[in-house]
Structures are given as C-alpha cells and as structure tokens.
Amino acid sequence: MLKSTMNQNKVQTLKGFRDFLPEAMAVRNYVKNLLIDTFETFGFEPIETPTLEYSSVLMGKYGDEGDKLVYSFTDNGDRQIGMRYDLTVPTAKVLAMYSQTIPMPFKRYQIQPVWRAENTQKGRYREVLQCDIDTFGTNSPIADAEILAVINTVLQKLNFKTFTILINSRIVLNNILKACKITEDKNSILQSLDKFSKIGQDGVTKELIGKNIPKAKITVLFKYIKQAQPDEYLQNVINQLKILGVSKNNYQFDPTIVRGLDYYTGPIFETVVTKPKIGSITGGGRYDNLIKSLGGPDISAVGTTIGLDRIVDCITELNLLPNLPKTKTKVLFANFGDKTVNQSLKLITELRNNNIASSFYPDNDKLSKQFKYADSLGIPFVAMIGTDESKNNQVTLKNMATGEQKTINQSNLLAQFV
C-alpha cells in the first residue's frame, strides 16, 4: 500500500515537456546566442509578446489541424484564452496595434517558447523555443531572399555540412489547382500534398482517393506538379540568393512543399537535413493578409521560424558542436575558513568587476571535496588563500586540467585571466 502511494506521488515532468540542466543549457545558449548575433548582423530588432492571448487572436489562423493543437481554456475572469501556438500571429497582433508608431519596413526577431498539444515523438515536443525573424511593410523579393540568406548563414555557422532549403509558393500551388480545375476541397488536397516528403506520391494518391478525389484528377494533379516552375515573384527571390551568398547546393525549388498554415500567400520555404530524420528545422514564407485579418492595416510580411530544439537535437546527434566549456566560471575560490575569507571575497569582487566569471565555495569543507566540486563543474582553476598566503598577500592558483600550482601576489591575479 505504501509503495502504491509513493508511485502516485512520484515527481515527474509532463509528457512533451523537458527540464534542461546546466550542461544542456550550455548548448542551447550557444545556439541561441549565435542566432541573436546573426539576426542582429542582418539588421533585425528584438521584441517579445505575452504567453497568453485572447482565443479570438489565435484561432482561425492556422487551419483546422493547427487550431486543434492550440492550448485554450476559460480563465477566472470567464475570458476565452489561448497559449502562444507560434510567434507569427502574436507579432501580427503587435503590428495591428502599434503600426502607426513602428517605422516601416520593420525587421523583427523574437525568441520565446510556444506550446502545442502535439502527439509527442522525436523532434516534436509540446513546449519548444521558437526563433523567428520577419520583415514587415515591403513587397520586395529582396526581403524574402534575405530571410533565406539568414537561414543559410545560421546553418553554416553551426557547421551543418548538408542541408536543403526547399522553396515553393502558394501562387504556384494555386496555379496548379486552377490548371487541374480543382475548385473545391483545396485546403484538404493541399494538406495531403504536404505529406509528399513523408509518404510519397503513392501515399498521397491513396489519401486523396480516400477523400473521394477522382483518380483521373489526381493523375492530372501530379502531371502539373512535375511541370511546375517558380512564378515571377519567386524567381526574383531565387535570383537574389547568389548575390546574398547562398549556394545553389543549399536550396531547391520543390512544388510539393505546402506549409500547412492557412495564412501564407506567396513564397513558402522549409529546411530539411538528410540525417537525422527529424523533419524540417526551419519553416516560413510570405503572409501578406494576416495583419489585416486581425483588424490592423494592410501590411505585407515575410519571415521564418528557426526551430532551436530540433537544431540542438541535430547538432548533438551529428557532433557538430565545438568543444563547449561546461561552465563559464573561470575560477573557484576555495574556502579556508573565517580568517582568510575576506581576502578571497575582495579578490573575487575584483575579478567580477573585470568580467571574469568567478565563484566562492561557501562551506569550509575538506580541500579535496572542494577540488572535486570544481572538477565536476569543469571550472578550470581553483584559487586558494590559506594562512601562509594570507600573511604574504599571495594566492595559490591550481590548474585543474594539469594539476600544476603556482603562488603569485594577489595584485597579479587578475593578469592571469585577461
């Protein structure tokens, strides 16, 4: 009986959610900081939006399948509330509310968690950290091409050797449907086509037959897909890529790419890798009507999401990371008791004032235990001020990698780390 009670009270994390300990956070922060540096190099500015929005802001923007995945509820004020499903719709809300005070074109980046009631599997979680960039207020194909250039730059900086940015356009897809004389069930047909990379032509054909689409019409559909070419606007986007330094090896026109969200109006794109099999690691496109649909002005927009969680999974599995230190702390000050603690704290303050990450071991434990603690965290140096060092205004510095020790004047400690 006691065992059963203990199992019921077992502390655990909700399915689809994760805890990140310091070693995992070192990797995530490395990727996040690299993204921020790249975004800002391309001229994008940061914003943030609330976790919760009115359901009316979120619902009806993602299509029937997407709407089902929005975490929504009635709050204590009897309001219909939803948690962020993506960053695009909340940002469109910002543009609808503040467009008169925001200079156009507006280039924004946003890095915040989103929540989706997904069926969890590898690379698919219920809480993920999305990293978005968008350009608002311009219809120039250069803006679209620049988004693709950011994706290319980020993945190269992260040491991805092979990746492909798949490019298509909703205009191309609409022209295909028009040529096939498909006027009904357009979204349903596109939803099936969007699975092409996973289930192939035979799988899409089988699914469309299950939706009562005539086989002859399906045959014509794939005929036009194989003949499809970029529309004029998309071709202008592609023409800019070489100038922006994007190799032809890193992108490909693919008329089967759909992107399931209903708000896309023009070019659409997603990035895939051969290994590991994890789905797309970026996805986006042009969505010129979304802000207007939220009651705002008619402002065009293009952008992409870069999936930090999937990228971290990829670079970890493919061993693409540099040798990241486990901690940014450069030196741990050992604790020798009350007689020398003030000298240690004075020195550690000097180091911190000079941006040298330092820590003080708070308890007067055995020195061997303090060494073991520093080693477990990957702290490269331990500074020691014992009785002798205190009398002579000295400090002994131990290199944890080599075991070497040297005693220097306390006034010279800072010079060891700059």
Task: Sketch the domain layout of the chain as residue ranges.
Answer: 16-317, 331-416
Q: Report the C-alpha gap between 110 and 35 in whole angstroms.
A: 10
Please answer whether residues 63 and 187 qualify as being in contact, where contact means their C-beta atoms are separated by less than 8 angstroms: yes
Query: Which pLDDT score, from 0 to 100, does residue 207 have?
Result: 84
Mind listing the pLDDT tens digit for each residue in 243-294? 999 999 999 999 999 887 778 999 999 999 987 777 789 999 999 998 888 8
Query: Which pLDDT score, from 0 to 100, does residue 8 have?
Result: 60
DSSP assignments along 264-320, one per residue? --SEEEEEE-SSS----SEEEEE-SSHHHHTTS----EEEEEEEHHHHHHHHHHTT-
Query: Which pLDDT score, from 0 to 100, does residue 6 have?
Result: 45
Q: Report the C-alpha gap between 268 and 287 in whole angstroms.
A: 9
Q: 274's torsion region: left (phi>0), alpha (psi -120 to 50) or beta? A: alpha
The phi and psi torsions of 396 (rounded to 5 degrees) equal -100, 130
Per DSSP bridges, beta strands 331-333 and 381-384 are parallel
Compute CA 200 distance to the chain's CA centroid, rounded to the nearest angstrom: 28
CB burial of 261-280 (b: ≥16 within 10 Å; e: otherwise) equals bbbbbbbbbbbbbeeeebbb
Query: Which pLDDT score, from 0 to 100, does residue 3 have?
Result: 44
Mind listing the pLDDT tens digit for each residue in 2-17? 444 445 678 899 988 9
Name the CATH superfamily housing domain 331-416. Anticodon-binding domain (3.40.50.800)
Name the CATH superfamily housing domain 16-317. Bira Bifunctional Protein; Domain 2 (3.30.930.10)
Query: Which pLDDT score, from 0 to 100, does residue 2 have?
Result: 41
Please answer whether residues 77 and 118 qualify as being in contact, where contact means their C-beta atoms are separated by less than 8 angstroms: no
Q: Matching CATH topology for 16-317 and 331-416? A: no
Regions of the chain short of the pLDDT cut 50? 1-6
Size of the chain, expressed as the number of residues it contains: 418
Query: Which pLDDT score, from 0 to 100, does residue 7 have?
Result: 55
